[in-house]
Amino acid sequence: MVNKNPACKTCSAARECKDTAVSWFFLFLGLLATLAVRLVNLLLHVGQFWVKLSWYIGVGGFFVYFLYKYEQDRRLRMNLQKARIAEKLYARDKLGAEDYEFLSGLLCRLKSRKDAINYFFIFLSSGIVLALAIYQDFFRP
């Protein structure tokens, strides 16, 4: 997890650095899947084809998105075990330069704008679709 780009050594500098096209692809895939799953209930009134299409896009998108996220987290766990960061911290051992870079990268990752965008979109779209579904199911003439 050591950052290979020397221009991206701090969290504030990392914001100026370009994210990979792959990471943006998976962000948009996650957002699309989120929206598709939330539209299923609203599309019940439109037609079965649209319900199924939305469901498959949503569930298929989530499948691929979470497979990607799982692999990222698995690599992070492996790197944490390999570097023995937790053991060094508990034992109050001296950390090396690579340990500090690793921890800095990890902390920057926790401040990810893409994760914040994803969480906000999930929250907002859930609220909007929930309100629309309640209106459609209980108040629509």
Residue 14 lies in a domain: no
Residue 13 lies in a domain: no
In the structure encoding, which two tokens stand for residue 131, read together? 């309100």
Residue 33 lies in a domain: yes
Phi, psi for 91 (deg, rounded to 5): -85, -5
pTM of the predicted structure, to 2 decimals: 0.75
Domain count, the chain: 1
Q: Return the half-sphere exposure (C-beta side, CA atoms, 13 A cut-off) of residue 90.
A: 4
Residue 96 lies in a domain: yes
Residue range(s) defining the domain that contains residue 57:
19-139
pLDDT band per the 50, 70, 90 thresholds, residue 10: low
- The per-residue pLDDT for 62 is 96
Q: Return the half-sphere exposure (C-beta side, CA atoms, 13 A cut-off) of residue 110.
A: 6
Interatomic CA distance for residues 119 and 122, integer angstroms: 5
Buried b (16+ CB within 10 A) or exposed e, 104-120: bbeebeeebebeeebee
Residue 59 lies in a domain: yes
pLDDT band per the 50, 70, 90 thresholds, residue 38: very high
Q: Give CA angle at 75 (70, 89), nearest 5°.
A: 120
Interatomic CA distance for residues 108 and 105, integer angstroms: 5
